[in-house]
Structure 1
Amino acid sequence: MQLSGRVWVVTGAGSGMGRELVLELLRRGARVAAVDRNPDGLVDLTALADAGGRLSTHVVDITDRAAVRALPDDVETAHGAVDGLVNNAGIIQPFVPVAELDDATIQRVLDVNLMGTLHMVQAFLPRLLARPEGHVVNVSSMGGFFPFPGQTMYGASKAAVKLLSEGLYAELLDTSVRVTVVFPGAVETSITANSGVEQPTSDSDSKVPMTAADQAARAILKGVERNKLHVYVGTDAKVMNLAIKVVPRTAIRFVQKQMSKHLGAPQLTKES
């Protein structure tokens, strides 16, 4: 889908990859409605973008269904139409096993990552279908197809986003709306701090190379321009996508051993 001259809605726009997606869309001649629950992040984004009327900001918590339902009208008031939606907002869970998660934490992860994405799709899809061309971009995660101990509920929520996106793709094949689902690997963002989660300790020797947020944004938009269904961001996401298909048990055990050094999780027992 063409980016220039189109109106895009981006959630989680106040920081990290969302901010870079907004800036890159603006550089490419798009108009953008930036959505975030943090007003300070949107203020900083506005100053950084210096895009005038091509950028509007909307303080919305995507878990608030009523606020999300009102958002399409606000976007169309600001820009006259809406052509694309990027569901980028998301949070991770505390780095602990499922058995140690309380109900409220589990519900919050599901509400933001899955239900928030669903609310946005339901609110904007009728507007996208009315346009000559539309696009839905849902950001899943490498954790949405590969299990990481200590992030199981996060992974489950992102796996649901993957299947939600693929289902939408199938349902919309005979329409003018295309669907892309994105699987970022390790990206340099503030998702840990924004999620209120403490980063586990790690040895300097075991640090994973991370993709810069602006590089990730460019990779995502390149995939959107090509109407790709799946976009893998970062070498780690591409490698793990192959590993889980070719040697799943070996790959899972390797990652579990690496993470157990920092999480104190029990070792997986050898399968018979």
Structure 2
Amino acid sequence: MKIDGNVFVVTGAGNGIAREATMHLLARGASVAGVDLSEAGLAETARLADAGDRFSQHLVDITDRAAVEALPAAVERAHGRVDGILNIAGVIQQFVKVVDLPFSEIDKVMSVNFGGVMNMCKAFLPTLLARPEAAILNVASMGAYAPVPGQAVYGASKAAVKLVTEALYAELLDTNVQVTVVFPGAIGTDIAANSGVTLAGGETREAAAEASSYKTTSPIVAGRVVVDALAKGRFRATIGSDAAAMDRISRINPKYATTLIAKQMGSLLG
């Protein structure tokens, strides 16, 4: 997929991987419509990017179907067209076992992580199919194939993203729309704080990971991997050595992979 001169919509652009992907896209000559719930986050991305009218800010809740359905027209007004969407926005769940997880939390995680992706894909597919070249890139998670204790519903939501993305790839094989799914491992972002999640003792996941010397990949690197996968039209990509290793292990011996992750990450439950 050509990056220079094309227009991409990026969800979650006010922070983390999505902000860095936005920066990489803009650096490569693209225009970006940044979508986020945080007005301050989008404004900071705009300040950092300093890309003028090549970056537009769209304060949209991706779980609001009507708001998302109005987004293609808004992006076209700002940039003239849409060539691709990058669904990166997401939240994690409270770090508790399923037995202790309230249904309100289950609904929230599924609504943002899976429902938001579906809303975006459904809203933009007609527009993308009309372009000579277009792309959909959805960010899943290592948790989609290597379940983390205390993140069962988060992993399930990302497994749903994985499967629907692969199904979209199959459905769009004979069209102009390329489809990519990306699996990040542990990334040094503020996703826990942005999700309203704390661990036992009030720690965020990132703080706990740092305390235990768990290796994370920087958002800058993650953003570059996302944009490289988009540019190369890859079917799937992993981010970080942890995601790559668990991808291989889970294919060979899924039970061993699940047990390994449980032993490494179980301490996050306190």
CA contact (8 A) 2:146 2:257 kept: no
SS of equivalent residue, structure 1 residue 232: strand
Larger-gyration structure (1/2): 1
CA distance in structure 1 between the partners assigned to 2:242 and 2:249 by the alignment: 10
Pairwise CA distance, 1:224: 1.3
Pairwise CA distance, 1:251: 2.4
Q: Which residue of 2 aligns with 1:32?
A: 32
Q: Which residue of 2 aligns with 1:258?
A: 264
| Unpaired segments ≥5 residues, structure 2 | 199-203
Q: What root-mean-square deviation, in Å, do the aligned CA atoms of Structure 1 and Structure 2 show?
A: 1.3
CA distance in structure 1 between the partners assigned to 2:162 and 2:255 by the alignment: 21
Q: Which residue of 2 aligns with 1:174?
A: 174
CA contact (8 A) 2:148 2:266 kept: no
Query: C-alpha offsets along residues 161-192 of structure 1, whole Å, 9 cap, x if unaligned?
Result: 00000000000000000000000001111100
Question: TM-score if structure 1 supplies the norm length?
Answer: 0.94
CA distance in structure 2 between the partners assigned to 1:11 and 1:204 by the alignment: 27
Number of residue pairs the alignment of both structures matches: 264
Matches within 5 A, 1:1-272: 1-198=1-198, 199=204, 202=208, 206-264=212-270
Question: TM-score if structure 2 supplies the norm length?
Answer: 0.95
Pairwise CA distance, 1:46: 1.1
Q: Which amino acid aligns with 1:215?
A: V
Pairwise CA distance, 1:262: 3.5
Identity between Structure 1 and Structure 2 (%)? 51
| Unpaired segments ≥5 residues, structure 1 | 265-272
Pairwise CA distance, 1:100: 0.6
CA distance in structure 2 between the partners assigned to 1:262 and 1:231 by the alignment: 26
CA distance in structure 2 between the partners assigned to 1:139 and 1:259 by the alignment: 21
Q: Which amino acid aligns with 1:86?
A: L
For residues 188 and 203 of structure 1, do their structure 2 counterparts lie closer, same or farther at Cα, with a shift above 3 Å needed?
A: closer
Deviates more, 1:242-251 or 1:78-87: 242-251
SS of equivalent residue, structure 1 residue 72: helix
For residues 127 and 204 of structure 1, do their structure 2 counterparts lie closer, same or farther at Cα, with a shift above 3 Å needed?
A: closer
Query: C-alpha offsets along residues 37-95 of structure 1, whole Å, 9 cap, x if unaligned?
Result: 11010111111111111110000000000100000000000000000100000000011
